[in-house]
A and B are shown apart, each in its own frame.
Chain A
Amino acid sequence: MMKKYTVINTPVHNIDGIAKITGRAEYAFDIKLPHMLYGKILRSPYPHAKILNIDTSKAEGLTGVKAVVTGSDTLGIKQGIWRRFKELCDEEILARSKVRYIGEPVAAVAALDEDTAEEALDLIEVEYEPLQGVFEPLEAIKEGAPQLHERAERNINVTRHIEWGDVDEGFKKADHIREDWFRCSSQSHVCMETHNAVASFTPDKRLTVWTSTQSHYYIQVLLSWVLGLRENDVRVVSRYTGGGFGSKFELDSAQFCSSLLSMKLFKPVKIILTREEEFMATKRRTPMFYYLRTGVKKDGSFVAKEARVFTEGGAYTSMGATALYLTGFFQAFPYVWPSYRYDGYRVYTNTAPTSAMRGFGAPQATFCAETQIDLIANDLGIDPIEIRRKNAMYPNYEVPGQATIQSCGLSQCLDKIEKWIKSRGKLPPNRGIGIAAYGFMSGGIFNWFDTPYAFSSAVIQVNIDGKVDLYVGSQDMGQGSNTTMTIICAEELGVRIEDIRLHMGDTDNCPVDLGAWGSRETLMQGNAVKMAAAEAKRQIIEYAVAKLSPNIVYDLDIKDRWIHLIARPERGLLYYDVVKEAIRGKDGQPIIARGHYTPHRKGMISPAYSFGVQAVEAEVDPDTGKITLKNCVTAHDCGQVINPLGVKGQLEGAMAMAAGYGFTEDLPMDEGKILNPNLVDYKVLRATEMPETKVIEVETYEPEGPFGAKEAGEGLTNPTAGALGNAIFHATGLSVKNLPITPEKVLEALREKKKKKGK
């Protein structure tokens, strides 16, 4: 017998590793072209104002300034990533008549160097008429509040309704009903590579843009739309991306401003956003006000849930419409709810637009849901593991009208975490363990972008020496999809990692894939790669069959460069030899194969779902309210593990970001102005604050995924805030329903508790 897999689930070096550890990896941030100019962007200082006039003459007169562009240099198109719904395309690239948030782009300058461009910004005279702003969704939705967009009465941007079962009947049957309000805060992606682009427009009317992105295809399409160019006359290149986390698949100001300037000048223009711009004027996690009403039986069985959400949309739709849907869907995850009703309202406010960020509405949903479940368990005197086990989703469960779950390892995850908690024994005072269960999608099914292409495609060429060229459209922003695709290709084709040369990150040379968001690459791009590799293998095996002429009842396979009879693996031929003959037999043509994937008949959300349970052990200092993370253990079901080092890295990294969301990261504002737009006052977790992390893999087989694989990088952003909150609850008896759980809030709650006791 041959080993089932020769490459999959073995620890391999990331294929971009050498480039990254030697400083050779060239990010768009590093690109320098001959005659390149440097650009800067003028942004609105007002949260809400009319633009009466813009005078650029003084700026244009400054020595070293080559061009200034404003809204009047644009086609005036209102763009958005929800292309299928024109009313949700509401964002001009450079505002022409009105600005709606502090940081909105108004003009851009190209000059010989950055200093000159910066100086020129001060010389652009913009006459504004400030308007009254509105900053909180619960204020903005009121009658008579200042209105941001003409069409959106009461500033309602999008609404979403999800319902199944009879909710009102459900509540009648409940023995216990709880109502809670939660507030989920915002969060900044903090990619280490800030948004940037180098645009070069040439006299043949072709535009090339090197940029840091999660989807070169989306940027190609959106740029061609707003600039009035033919789609394939725009080339977007992005070989390395220094982090994305959801912030880099919409059109950004570095991309369109550098393009506009280059089109005016026929010279390359580079724009790098500063860290401050990154905080103030790129997208961020959606803050949400959550109302939950939940009915359960005495034994903890769930019967009914009602959720109402108001999200702070910021000034434009962006990807926030998707977050509004997903938060509603994942509010009911990963449990069986006989009845459920969700109403979500995305409300425009005069703040920076809120959008996609790792977890995409699910971390907010999971924080509220898991916090409330522990409160209910406490009300009823039921163990937190037990109440979750009783209501857990299971394999082949159908979420009514929404989704079909196939593989589901949730109950195994609960078992593993229960065992770990027991192993901790009795904890010291002021210390607690909290858990949260979660799930996430493996790529979205929705096509609001309105692509006519398959969701993922791949092309393979096998050359005379057996080296395989693999062309993918997926984008590696650090999550490791380049390595994952290489592993999948090597396994399916029966060769080794070093036999594969991957091509990605270039719309001129790669097939279309929608990009790295919604945890889609492993399943969707992975399926396309597997299909292409299977087709290449079929072509190679044809020649091996001719050569070996086995009895027709035998079939062949390739493993580790050995083409053999499956039933008699010792009988075979070397891969290299057969490839040579196959190419000769094809009249000298290399072997070429294609693969593609689009989900069909898989419900409304995703073709597959990951599951998991996380336990966080935390200590609270009763004098200062300070929270220290002690341990974080996660049992995770991502189907078949493809790249074990990659999965571990994703899970640990997601946990760090999610813990930041839980207790250190926040974007406080004053009238739409972010007060901490720098890395000193915005508290990203540091190495010294990281607890011990442990990842327990629960392997299942997902029929829809390549080799049974599914999502592994994003779902783990969902549980941590809730698990941390529950740890604090079990340590102190206090439940903080307002993120982030800061020492101030903990202290305040402790004082309240003391006061109550005193009475």
Chain B
Amino acid sequence: MEKQLLHITVNSEYHELYIKPKKLLVEVLRDELGLTGTKKGCNTGACSACTVLLNGASVKSCSVLAMQADGTEITTVEGLADGGKLSFLQRSFLDYSAYQCGFCTSGMLMSATALLNENPNPTNRQIKEGIHGNICRCTGYNSIIRAIKAVADGRYKEKK
């Protein structure tokens, strides 16, 4: 099948790429743009390791054709920090050791970012539901829940 032109903004950088129309968003991010922070754990939409933000909403990039994302803005884990300045969630993930092997961490951070964007004051229940789709085989989730809660509770503030 003929390649098609994809226009996509990823982490504030605009790209034009010729791609096969069957390419998944996760494949374009990893293979074409070299953004390997986004992982693949199952390729069937069951583990959410590949979660990214598409126009601000969390999506599983293994379940989106790249061409479906034509003209959109994507944020991946590489786009969370502002230069050397980590996002609040990244800082709290460090402080609460909310990761172990790290392979689900990118997807987890993106789901948590989307959750707090939508609902800045979630209850523990809502946090659990917000990351329900993300499998973490290492931590047992509770350290992740504590890290997200800490940000929601305002324990991370802009340093003046």
What is the interface of chain A, defined by CB distance below 8 A to chain B?
A: 13-14, 16-27, 29-30, 32, 189-194, 240-245, 274-275, 477-480, 645-646, 648-650, 652-657, 678-680, 684-688, 690, 692-693
In the complex, chain B residues whose CB is within 8 Å of the CB of A480: 100
Q: Are B78 and A22 in contact, with the CB atoms below 8 A?
A: yes
Task: For A26, list chain B residues within 8 Å (CB).
Answer: 36
Is the beta-carbon distance between A652 and B94 smaller than 8 angstroms?
A: no
Among B31, B36, B96, the one with the most A-chain Cβ atoms within 10 Å of its Cβ is B36
Q: Which residues of A contact B38 (CB under 8 A)?
A: 23
**Residues of B contacting A654 with CB < 8 Å?**
140
- Subset of 20 A-B contacts with CB under 8 Å: A20-B105, A22-B37, A22-B81, A29-B36, A32-B34, A192-B41, A192-B49, A243-B101, A243-B103, A243-B138, A478-B99, A478-B101, A648-B143, A653-B139, A653-B140, A679-B44, A686-B141, A687-B141, A687-B145, A690-B128
B143 & A649 in contact (Cβ 8 Å cutoff): yes
Of the listed residues A645, A655, A657, the one surrounded by the most CB atoms of chain B closer than 10 A to its CB is: A645
| Other-chain contact of A30, B36, B47, B133 (Cβ < 8 Å) | B36
Q: Which chain A residue lies CB-closest to B145?
A: A687
Contact check, B102 vs A242: say whether CB atoms are below 8 A apart. yes
Q: Which of A194, A653, A657, A684 has the most CB of B within 10 A?
A: A653
- Whether A652 and B44, one on each chain, are in contact in the complex, defined by CB atoms closer than 8 angstroms, is no
| Chain A residue at minimum C-beta to C-beta distance from B27 | A114
CB distance from A270 to the nearest CB of B (A): 11
A477 and B140 alpha carbons, distance in the complex (Å): 16
Q: Which of B41, B95, B100, B135 contacts A13 (CB 8 A)?
A: B95
Most central of A20, A190, A479, A693 by chain B CB within 10 Å: A20
A-B pairs under 8 A by CB, number: 171
Given contacts A190-B137, A192-B136, contact A688 B129 (CB under 8 A): yes
- Is B42 close to A, CB under 8 A? yes
Q: Identify the closest chain A residue to B105 (Cβ).
A: A20
Residues of A close to B144: CB separation below 8 A: 687
Question: Is B74 in contact with chain A by the CB < 8 A criterion?
Answer: no
Q: Are B99 and A243 in contact (CB under 8 A)?
A: no
Q: B102: nearest residue on chain A (CB-CB)?
A: A20
**Is B86 within 8 A of A653, CB to CB?**
no
Q: Tell me if A24 and B37 are in contact (CB < 8 A).
A: yes
| Minimum C-beta distance from B56 to chain A (A) | 19
Contact B42 A678 (CB under 8 A): yes
| A29, B104: Cα distance in complex, Å | 13
Contact B142 A690 (CB under 8 A): yes
* B-side interface residues, number (CB < 8 Å): 55
User: In the complex the two chains form, what is the Cα distance from A189 to B135 in whole Å?
Assistant: 13
> Are B131 and A478 in touch, CB under 8 angstroms?
no
Least CB separation from A646: chain B residue? B97
Residue in A18, A274, A684 whose beta carbon sits within 8 Å of that of B137 in the complex: A684
Closest CB in chain A relative to B87 CB, distance in Å:
9
Q: Is A679 a contact of B46 with CB atoms below 8 Å?
A: yes
- Residues B94-118 near A (CB distance < 8 A): 94-97, 99-106, 109
Contact yes or no, B143 A652, CB < 8 A = yes
Contacts A17-B94, A23-B77, A245-B137; is A679 near B142 (CB within 8 Å)? no
> Is B51 among interface residues, defined by CB-CB distance under 8 A?
no
Does A690 contact B101, Cβ atoms closer than 8 Å?
Answer: no
Q: Are A192 and B39 in contact (CB under 8 A)?
A: yes
Report the minimal beta-carbon distance from B156 to chain A, rounded to whole angstroms. 14
Task: Give the distance to chain B from A317, nearest Cβ to Cβ, in Å.
Answer: 26
Q: Given the complex, which residues of A lie within 8 Å of B134, measured CB to CB?
A: 687
Find chain B residues with CB under 8 A from A680 CB.
44, 46
Instruction: For the complex formed, measure the closest distance between the CB of A248 and the CB atoms of chain B, giving whole angstroms.
Output: 11
Q: Which residues of B contact A16 (CB under 8 A)?
A: 102
* Inter-subunit contact B99/A21 (CB<8 Å): yes
Q: Is the CB–CB distance between A240 and B102 below 8 Å? A: yes
Chain B residue at minimal CB-CB distance from A645: B97
Report A449 CB to chain B, min CB distance, Å.
24
In the bound assembly, the distance between CA atoms of A194 and B100 in angstroms comes to: 16
